[in-house]
Amino acid sequence: MKKVIFTEKAPKAIGPYSQAIEVNGTLYISGQIPINPATGQMAEGITEQTKQVMENIGEILKAAGYSYSNVVKSTCLLSDMNNFQAMNEVYGTYYKETPPARAAYGVVKLPLGALIEIETIAVK
């Protein structure tokens, strides 16, 4: 059975999609951009944007009863691959042991002019 996951502690969807969907012990988190849910503002710079995205993912994980240790796959979308190393440095602080599988892509443009977007899959 499909369960919609929503928390006020992460940004509301900016389109016709859910923050996350849980099915049979697997959590699919929609791509998160660096919007601070308290202010509605986007963080500045790749380091701060990556931190905000990871915090948003953390809040959705928590709302669904998961943690970063449950994450098995991430897909990182970057508007500029020159930001890859800086993104990696921040991203790595959230997955110090047994990091998930991951793909990273350079894209032409992200929603609202974000520098980064990350989608995540977690399993219990």
Report the number of secondary-structure helices (H) and strands (E) in the chain: 2, 6
- Which residue, among 19, 41, 37, 46, has the nearest Cα to 120 in the 3D structure? 19
Cα–chain center distance at 70: 14
Q: Is 47 exposed, middle or buried (0-12, 13-18, 19+ CB in 10 A)?
A: middle
H helix or E strand, kind and range, residue 51:
helix 45-63
Q: What is the CATH number of the domain that holds 119?
A: 3.30.1330.40
Percent of the chain clearing pLDDT 70 (strictly above): 100
- Which residue numbers in the chain have pLDDT < 50? none
CA dihedral 38, 109, 62, 43 (to 10 degrees): -30
Which pLDDT belongs to residue 14? Answer: 87
Which pLDDT belongs to residue 35? Answer: 97
Total number of domains constituting the chain: 1
Which pLDDT belongs to residue 101? Answer: 98
Q: Domain span at residue 76?
A: 2-123
The answer to whether the beta carbons of residues 33 and 43 sit under 8 Å apart is no
- Verdict on whether the full-model pTM lies above 0.95: yes
